[in-house]
Structure 1
Amino acid sequence: MRVAIPKELIAPLIVAFAMFMESMDANVIATSLPAMARDFGRDPVVIQIGVISYVVGLGIFIPICGWVADRFGARPVFQSAIGVFVAGSLLCAASLSLEMFTVARFVQGIGGAMMVPVGRIIIFRAVPRADFVRAMNYLSIPALLGPAAGPVLGGFITTYLHWRLIFVINVPFGVLGIWLARRFIVNSREPHPGRLDWLGFVLSAGGGASFLLGLSLLGGEIISQRSALVTSLCGAALIGFYILYAKRATRPLLELRFLRIPTFRTSVGGGSLFRIGLGALPFLLPLTLQEGLGMSAFRSGLITCGSAFGSLFVKWLASGVLRRFGFRSVLTYNAAFSALAIAVCGFFVPGTPTWLIWAVVLFSGFFPSLQFTALNALAYSDIGLPDIGRATSLASVVQQLSLGLGVAVGGLVVQLTHHLSGRAAFQWTDFAPAFVIIGLFSLGSIPVTRRMAADAGAEIARGRR
């Protein structure tokens, strides 16, 4: 029996397919990092640079994806993005050194930065409003399945096959995605996309990339400590120059005036502190289970996927919780619960029952996911419809760079703790301080949240139109 798919929903399915490939790749790599580090002859924590380079590539190119799609057409840009992502995957699989792997992951990030937002643009233009809710449901599938299936698949491939196959499997899916886009997606573009703020792009992209990459290189295995510090300081200086430039520019790439809006400032500013902890958790947890507790990559993946189930459960509760308690109360108290759930993950010791670890990991996904959902919704509560696109660009960049900063901070703390211990091999005690510190970042968001009005975001929380 053949099932006919409505023509207007084919494009959303194709975009969801590409997004699933990107989401799966982002989650599948976490459990494979220790094995990659051994093959590259590196300290397992230093491999963080491969994670951060992907986030940097993703974050700095998101703001220009809309302009590029309007300038060259959404379909060819979408196809090219898949091609770049697949090319980056092949480079990852062929990498013989950490330096090559870092560059390959950056290329993957560029492809992902263009693939996901441009895919959404295609849907906005191709789907009738009557079918819009169904189309967006398709896009929610990758966000739900990727974090759940990724760690298990990555752990299985790493344990029983080889980690390089993780990236090879992207190739047939990518080729199929390019063909489907060519066959079924109608090309669209805006007639006059306007002038791109190239100076703003260079300053913001160069600043964000240099700051984060320099911070992640402070371990000293790839470049010297001094060079890493100079790189990070140069990045901070470029960010400072961009802030000065954006205040005077007529239409800057990242519009900082949105930070004057209290709800947006809380979501982006206070939310950045919380997202540092959220970004570090998927990086630190597999390392703790494998390097600290001696688990295999597959067993580690079976445990770390528990956080995805906690996140999934929140999807059905978030609206009711926000409607009942409001944004300020939820963001305040849930930040404390999130901090505790994250910090407890650092105190798994050899012999801790697997069921107990899994239960803790489940809650470490539940509370942070509720916080993440509330912060994302709050960001747009007082943003006018014409400004949504530009506000999204700023929020997305800050969000990605905050997640990357979390990985860098977590890695630095683990390296420092391990160095002070004087041991050759990592033990579970090397990871505990990192979980506590990233948990404290979540607590740090509370003072920012408390400055909001008690009824901030009430219209969205109560579901009013």
Structure 2
Amino acid sequence: MIDTHQRNTALLVAGCFFMENLDGTIVATAAPRMAASLHVEPTAVGLVITAYLLTLAVLIPLSGWLAARYGVRRIFLTAISLFTLASLACALSANLWQLVAMRVLQGVGGAMMVPVGRLTVMARTAKPDIPKTMAYIVWAGLVAPVIAPLLGGFITTYADWRWMFLINLPLGLVALLVARRLLDATPATNSTPTTNATSTAPSLDRIGVLLTATGLGAFTWAAHLLSEPAEPWAPVLLALGLSVVLLTAAVRHLLRTEHPLISLRTLRVPTFRASVTGGTAFWIAVGAVPFLLPLLFQEVFGWSAIKSGTVVLFVFVGNIGVKPTTTYLLNRFGFRKLLLGASLGVTATLVASAFLTAATPLVLIVVLTVISGAARSVGLTGYMTIAFSEVSAEQLRHANTLSATAQQLAAGLGVAAATVALRAGGAIGELLPGTPSARTAYAVAFGLLALVTLTAVVGAYRLHPGAGDAVRRSPVAAGKRPVVRS
């Protein structure tokens, strides 16, 4: 059973996860106000978002080695402090380039904060307690992208955009004080770096750092270019091509070197591989929904930003409403059935969204968003939990780092995928029978995103029926008590 210390540590990491994800999405709402204040074009504010996401993608792979080299306590406390101070510096920035530089610094803190915090939690959690522990952590990643548009809208409407960064100060201070107390009380184990350890970690894989960082950086930059609706294809293809070359070289190096920055051999564990592959597709699709729905509501239905943000907030209602049942559902039905159901649920809600019109009753739209939120909550909890169900203690550091990297890339790709689907929807709409309307592009875009989630459906279907049973407690099912593999 999870004791109070484990629960509080998991909630601490969840709070840090919330701050990191919120800062990755909230700025988009304030772009016009920020641009006017900084005396630049609104499109230039995109650099503020990209600088943050780019830094996360580049440095998250290094977080595992830093924790092993300098100790989780030192790195975690440093990360929280850096993130909080950088947030203050962002609020005090006088021009765009100062703000971009401080966002990079903020990204440095974020890149270490969540992966290292999660490593601390997972290393001290027994296998059957992983579902409940992960349920505490996952909610933050679900909530932040959903409430960001509404929160950002309120801040920019009724206050100054700088408050988007200032709200991190009390959150960061509380997180720092709690972390100092909790980690002081955390005993060292043989499976994770000690709190202030001089390191038993191998020397840094500098070639792996160079190839991985540049490859992920190029990939994230390509995603940024894709998220710009008017961006020409040439620079996008160039950035994508460069990322493919660099990441291919990185994979070859990581598989051949004796002490790689990230061990890709963890992908030999079937459940972890399913989490990385199917989970990535799932993250991309659900990350696109909070971006597409407000655009549909405002640009096609003519709703106000507040009304559209409020309706999208019902995704959050679905997230939270189903959260208390996720551990029971995992124990009762197993990962294969649950991930199949969640993936099919998200696919169905995406298809249904393609048929929404301005005449659709508001209550039906609300019900659809609640169902969508519940399905995404169950699915993401399932994927993040099954990732560590069969990973050994020796593999945990590498698995955690690779999982965090994949999740960050998928989250960053959500908006890019939505933009590409919308652009493709406009082109495909011209080829369809009849006269395309403003809604046609959105209908096609939701259909294309549904195809993405179908890859997660296929991956879940291919799972072994007993996949992930090591982290399931023995539920009573059909009058029998199944054996739990440990």
Bin the TM-score by the shorter chain.
0.7 to 0.9
> Structure 1: how far apart are the matches of 2:342 and 2:133?
31
Residue in 1 that maps onto 2:411: 403
Deviation at 1:357, TM superposition (A): 2.2
Matches within 5 A, 1:192-211: 192=199, 193-211=201-219
> Structure 2: how far apart are the matches of 1:74 and 1:162?
36
Matched, 1:279 2:287: yes
> Structure 1: how far apart are the matches of 2:120 and 2:99?
31
Residue in 1 that maps onto 2:441: 430
Greater shift in the superposed pair: 250-259 or 280-289: 280-289
Deviation at 1:335, TM superposition (A): 1.5
Contact 1:197 1:252 in 2 (8 A): yes
Q: 1:334 to 1:251 in 2, by over 3 A?
A: same
Q: 1:10 to 1:195 in 2, by over 3 A?
A: same
Contact 1:34 1:290 in 2 (8 A): no
Cα displacement string for residues 402-450 of structure 1 (whole angstroms, at most 9, x for unaligned residues): 222232121122234457889xxx9444333222211210012233333
Provide the secondary structure at the position in 2 that maps to 1:305: helix
Residue in 2 that maps onto 1:108: 106
Letter matched to residue 447 of structure 1: V
> Structure 2: how far apart are the matches of 1:438 and 1:210?
23
Provide the secondary structure at the position in 1 that maps to 2:324: coil
Greater shift in the superposed pair: 216-225 or 267-276: 216-225
Cα displacement string for residues 119-171 of structure 1 (whole angstroms, at most 9, x for unaligned residues): 446668999xxx99999897677567656754543232233334443123324
> Structure 2: how far apart are the matches of 1:48 and 1:71?
35
> Structure 1: how far apart are the matches of 2:31 and 2:10?
32
Residue in 1 that maps onto 2:253: 245
Residue in 2 that maps onto 1:362: 370
Residue in 2 that maps onto 1:415: 423
Q: 1:342 to 1:85 in 2, by over 3 A?
A: farther
Matches within 5 A, 1:446-461: 446-461=457-472
1:21 to 19, 22, 43: 19
Q: 1:288 to 1:86 in 2, by over 3 A?
A: farther
Greater shift in the superposed pair: 281-290 or 216-225: 216-225
> Structure 1: how far apart are the matches of 2:262 and 2:60?
11
2:450 to 439, 444, 452: 439
> Structure 1: how far apart are the matches of 2:132 and 2:343?
32
Deviation at 1:325, TM superposition (A): 3.1
Letter matched to residue 452 of structure 2: F
Residue in 1 that maps onto 2:196: 189
Greater shift in the superposed pair: 174-183 or 111-120: 174-183
Deviation at 1:295, TM superposition (A): 3.0
Deviation at 1:263, TM superposition (A): 2.0
Letter matched to residue 448 of structure 1: G
Letter matched to residue 160 of structure 1: Y
1:394 to 402, 407, 411: 402
Matched, 1:216 2:216: no
> Structure 1: how far apart are the matches of 2:109 and 2:270?
33
Letter matched to residue 198 of structure 2: P
Cα displacement string for residues 273-320 of structure 1 (whole angstroms, at most 9, x for unaligned residues): 222202222222233333333333332332222112212223222233
Deviation at 1:328, TM superposition (A): 2.3
Deviation at 1:371, TM superposition (A): 1.5
Letter matched to residue 302 of structure 1: T
Provide the secondary structure at the position in 1 that maps to 2:198: coil
Query: Percent of counterpart pairs with the same letter?
Result: 34
Root-mean-square deviation (CA, aligned residues, Å) is: 4.2
Matches within 5 A, 1:370-385: 370-385=378-393
Structure 2: runs of 5 or more not aligned: 185-193, 431-436, 475-483
Contact 1:212 1:232 in 2 (8 A): no
Matched, 1:158 2:169: no
Deviation at 1:38, TM superposition (A): 8.9
Residue in 2 that maps onto 1:3: none
Contact 1:327 1:374 in 2 (8 A): yes
Q: 1:80 to 1:220 in 2, by over 3 A?
A: same
Letter matched to residue 239 of structure 2: T
Q: 1:42 to 1:361 in 2, by over 3 A?
A: same
1:315 to 323, 338, 344: 323
Q: 1:221 to 1:134 in 2, by over 3 A?
A: closer
Contact 2:229 2:419 in 1 (8 A): no
Q: 1:452 to 1:18 in 2, by over 3 A?
A: closer
2:332 to 318, 324, 327: 324
Residue-pair matches, total: 454
Provide the secondary structure at the position in 2 that maps to 1:386: coil
Deviation at 1:367, TM superposition (A): 0.9
> Structure 1: how far apart are the matches of 2:49 and 2:261?
25
Contact 2:119 2:397 in 1 (8 A): no
Q: 1:248 to 1:71 in 2, by over 3 A?
A: closer
Contact 1:30 1:283 in 2 (8 A): no
Structure 1: runs of 5 or more not aligned: 1-5
> Structure 1: how far apart are the matches of 2:122 and 2:461?
36
Contact 1:218 1:229 in 2 (8 A): no
Letter matched to residue 61 of structure 2: P
Provide the secondary structure at the position in 2 that maps to 1:154: helix
Q: 1:22 to 1:211 in 2, by over 3 A?
A: closer
Matched, 1:61 2:59: yes
Q: 1:97 to 1:338 in 2, by over 3 A?
A: farther
Matches within 5 A, 1:169-184: 169-174=167-172
Cα displacement string for residues 35-91 of structure 1 (whole angstroms, at most 9, x for unaligned residues): 668986457xx9777655544432332232233245445455334423443455456
Matches within 5 A, 1:19-58: 19-26=17-24, 28-29=26-27, 31-32=29-30, 41-42=41-42, 51=49, 53-58=51-56
Greater shift in the superposed pair: 314-323 or 272-281: 314-323
TM-score (norm. length: structure 1) = 0.80
> Structure 1: how far apart are the matches of 2:68 and 2:216?
25
Deviation at 1:237, TM superposition (A): 0.6
Matched, 1:296 2:304: yes
Q: 1:27 to 1:347 in 2, by over 3 A?
A: farther
Contact 1:216 1:411 in 2 (8 A): no
